[in-house]
């Protein structure tokens, strides 16, 4: 009975400690990404916005969300760098792909 209380405390503290460590590593990775941004990088924000980096400042980043449309954001909102597929990839838009049905044919859900 005397051993139950210390084991209970240990069972609660170990998962908390491991969770904090994992979160700290993830924050370091995101911070390194935000420091390594370059003009022309495709990024995704924490809100899910996909954009291209147009300009960089100390605390802000200008993101081009459409041709000629540039908005200013805090660097902290950049969550990840996005790799985009090129239009020259022949398998990207195949004619026989069901996700792009021919004109006039309704898509079934």
Write down the domain spans for the chain: 3-81
pLDDT at residue 5, rounded to an integer: 86
pLDDT at residue 42, rounded to an integer: 95
The residue to which tokens 């195949």 are assigned: 94
pLDDT in tens, 77-90: 999 999 875 545 55
Task: Domain 3-81: give its CATH architecture.
Answer: Roll (2.30)
Show the DSSP H helices in the chain as ranges: 4-35
Q: Which phi and psi (to 5°) does residue 61 adopt?
A: -140, 135
Q: How confident is the model at residue 54 (pLDDT cuts 50, 70, 90)?
A: very high
The mean-pLDDT minimum among 4-18, 27-41, 78-92 falls in 78-92
Q: How confident is the model at residue 48 (pLDDT cuts 50, 70, 90)?
A: very high
């Amino acid at each position: 009975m005397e051993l139950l209380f210390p084991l209970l405390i240990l069972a609660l503290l170990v998962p908390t400690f491991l969770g904090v460590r994992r979160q700290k590593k993830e924050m370091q990775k995101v911070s390194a990404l935000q420091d390594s941004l370059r003009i022309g990088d495709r990024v995704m924000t924490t809100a899910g916005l996909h954009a291209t980096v147009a300009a960089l400042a100390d605390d802000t980043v200008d993101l081009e969300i459409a041709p000629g449309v540039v908005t200013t954001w805090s660097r902290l909102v950049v969550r990840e760098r996005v790799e985009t597929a090129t239009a020259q990839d022949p398998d990207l838009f195949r004619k026989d792909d069901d996700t792009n049905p021919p004109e006039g044919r309704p898509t079934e859900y």
